[in-house]
Amino acid sequence: MWLPAVLLGVIWLPAQAQLNIEVNGVDGELKTNVRLHLSRWDSLPRGDDDQIRRQIQNRVRKALQPFGYYQPEIDARWQEGTIQVDIGKGPPIRWQPARVDIQPAQLDLPQAAAELVNKPPFQPGDILRHQIYEDYKKRLLLTMRQAGFLDANWQTSRLHIDVEAGTAQARLVMSAGERYRIHKIRIVGTDLAEDTIQTLLTINEGDWYSTNAVGKLYENLLSTGYYANASVDLNTEPPNRAIVTVSLTEKAKDQFTTGIGYGTDTGARAKLGWTRSRVNDRGDDIYSNIQVSQIGQEVTFQYHIPWPHPLKRYLSWDTGWKHEETTDRESTLLSTGLSLKRIEQQHWQYSVGVNLEHENYQQGDNPDETITYALPNFHYIRRQLFTRPDATESTLKYWFDTSLGFSLLEDHTLFWSVLGGASLVHELNHTHSLATRVELGAIMTGDFYAVPLSKRFYVGGDQTVRGFRYNTLAPEDEDGELVGGQFMNVFSLEYRYRLTENWQAATFVDTGRSYISSHAPFHSGAGIGVRWMLPVGTFSFDIAKPITGEDDSSIRFHLYLGMVL
């Protein structure tokens, strides 16, 4: 009884052995597709030699035809669980001029559809690729439907291949049907006033239906922060009416956030935030934050009024209290102000407004001083992202702030402050990148020492010149107390090497100065560090050493961590 069992094992083992496939004569995606078609056998096919050869050849032909090769020469051999195939591709099938029509003939086509009709992605002389042809049909049909031809369909879809002549010709006829117009837009699930909703609409009743415009409306509604979810339904009525219904689910009006972090400049810090959205049917919002760190405390309150667009332009009333204390200076600032802020989708924003500020400050052992001043101001910031064909990116950011301050209750004090800068992160490739930053500032005034302490310039620390303590690079008075600078220059260059997807090593050099006299020297620091990219921000750890100045023998550690709970 043991002999049948042994024979069964001998027969069964080859069927379970892994099939080896050798393909010669083709490369790239053709070779991959041939291997894919042949690998679907768990073992060599059964039958006599001619039958097996024909089965292999048929599979190879099917693998090559989607790429336009219909007349290959195929030599197939096999032994001991191995298939070896030598392929001569033969002449490819090439396109003849395609005939693509959309009926009715006099139809005024949308630009994107007209471009596809007039210039298909397969031109005369190109090698036939079935996937390109099928994708083209899907894309043209989708383009027409997105433009409002909701009933469009292919009336004729024929691909004629003449293998002997080595040619292919497409004959495509689409019936466009009626182009639909927006008959009605319904927004349900919101308590916002009609005027506010209208500012968010990207389509109006009477417009041609457009999938892109409806998608933009969906994006606008969610971007307000008022809604947790949104869904869009489309209904049609003959002959060409489209009814768009947007159903919204509102977020809870009150949202609370907490956060903790650490930076060498600020020490440990904690933050508590409260937001109330949709204070009224106009869409007003309240933002309030309390932040505590080892060097100070800050309370802010903002009230936003859409004017008229919640996403693009609004009035903001800002009120805050801030206390900061370092080794040789202490400042308490109370401020309130009104500004007009505008945000554009091209990643730029600006604000123009006026603040009323009351500041009490003390520098070293000097008597404390108090000043109340008005501060008309303008702020501008823009961020641009450039993506290259190899998927590497460059991020450019630049900003400009200016303000004019004048005292209200004390002796006449007038100052004009200007601050601007730019930063660039440029990926050389997927492993190497460079980051550079420049920042310049100036205060124009007849009496610099009358300028409030919080408006003067200081350099040093995590965000300016590493290797030095926070805000310790500034002019001093005769007692050695820091008085701050009237001008400021900061430059930084950093090289980053990607270790893994989320980790980078870095080496850098920073230089900068805060000064009153133009003869003041620059202070420079250099070092190495690591960057850990997290979903909530970046953890940075740097070891830096001054390379100029009296303190050039010390080494400082710089940590920066932000985390939202």
CA 419 to chain centre: 27
Residues 6+ apart with CB under 8 A from 2: none
**Total residue count of the chain as it appears in this document:** 565
End-to-end CA gap in the chain: 71
Rounded distance, CA 301 to CA 464, Å? 28
Coil, strand, or helix at residue 438?
A: strand
Closest by CA to 544, choosing from 494, 489, 503, is: 494
Same domain as 350, residue 201: no
Same domain as 510, residue 390: yes
Rounded distance, CA 38 to CA 42, Å? 9
Domain C-terminal end among 250, 271, 294: 250
Same domain as 281, residue 415: yes
Same domain as 190, residue 120: no
Same domain as 267, residue 193: no
The DSSP output letter for 141 is H
What are the tokens at 418?
Answer: 């200007």
8 Å CB contact between 424 and 491? no
Same domain as 271, residue 410: yes
Number of domains in the chain: 4
Edge to edge, what strands does the sheet with 82-88 contain? 20-24, 82-88, 73-79
Return the number of other C-beta atoms located less than 10 Å from residue 228's C-beta. 11
The burial of 72, by beta-carbon neighbours within 10 Å (0-12 exposed, 13-18 middle, 19 or more buried), is given as buried
* DSSP class per residue in 45-88: PPS-HHHHHHHHHHHHHHHHGGGT--S-EEEEEEETTEEEEEEE
8 Å CB contact between 163 and 169? no
Domain C-terminal end among 175, 195, 218: 175
Same domain as 353, residue 204: no
pTM comes to: 0.75
Rounded distance, CA 464 to CA 62, Å? 64
* pLDDT tens by residue, the chain, 565 residues: 333 333 333 333 344 446 788 999 999 999 999 999 988 776 566 667 788 888 889 999 999 999 999 999 999 888 777 889 999 999 999 999 999 999 998 888 999 999 999 999 999 999 999 999 999 999 999 999 999 999 999 999 999 999 999 999 999 999 999 999 999 999 999 988 988 888 888 889 999 999 999 999 999 899 888 999 999 999 999 899 999 999 999 999 999 999 887 777 788 889 999 999 999 999 999 999 999 998 899 999 999 999 888 888 999 999 999 999 887 788 999 999 999 999 876 678 999 999 999 999 888 777 888 999 999 999 999 988 888 888 889 999 999 999 999 988 767 789 999 999 999 999 999 999 999 999 999 999 999 988 998 999 999 998 899 999 888 899 988 878 889 999 999 999 999 999 999 999 999 999 999 999 889 999 999 999 999 988 877 889 999 999 986 555 688 988 877 543 3
Q: Give φ, ψ of 170 to 5 degrees.
A: -100, 140
Same domain as 453, residue 522: yes
Rounded distance, CA 409 to CA 147, Å? 63
Residues 6+ apart with CB under 8 A from 410: 370, 371, 372
Same domain as 78, residue 126: no
CATH number at residue 325: 2.40.160.50
CATH number at residue 49: 3.10.20.310
Integer CA distances (angstroms), 216 to 228, 232, 277, 344, 478, in order: 17, 11, 22, 14, 62
- Per the structure, the complete domain to which residue 225 belongs is given by 181-250
Same domain as 418, residue 490: yes
Domain C-terminal end among 88, 117, 143: 88
Rounded distance, CA 289 to CA 300, Å? 5
Task: Compute the C-alpha angle 141/143/145, nearest 5°.
Answer: 70
- 515-520: list long-range contacts, CB under 8 Å, 24+ apart: 515/475, 515/485, 515/486, 515/487, 515/488, 516/448, 516/475, 516/485, 516/486, 516/487, 517/475, 518/487, 520/475
Residue type, position 157, single letter = S
**What per-residue confidence (pLDDT) applies to 376?**
97
CA 396 to chain centre: 13
**What per-residue confidence (pLDDT) applies to 323?**
95
Same domain as 76, residue 107: no
Rounded distance, CA 209 to CA 108, Å? 15
Same domain as 300, residue 262: yes
Closest by CA to 102, choosing from 168, 147, 135, is: 147
**What per-residue confidence (pLDDT) applies to 1?**
35
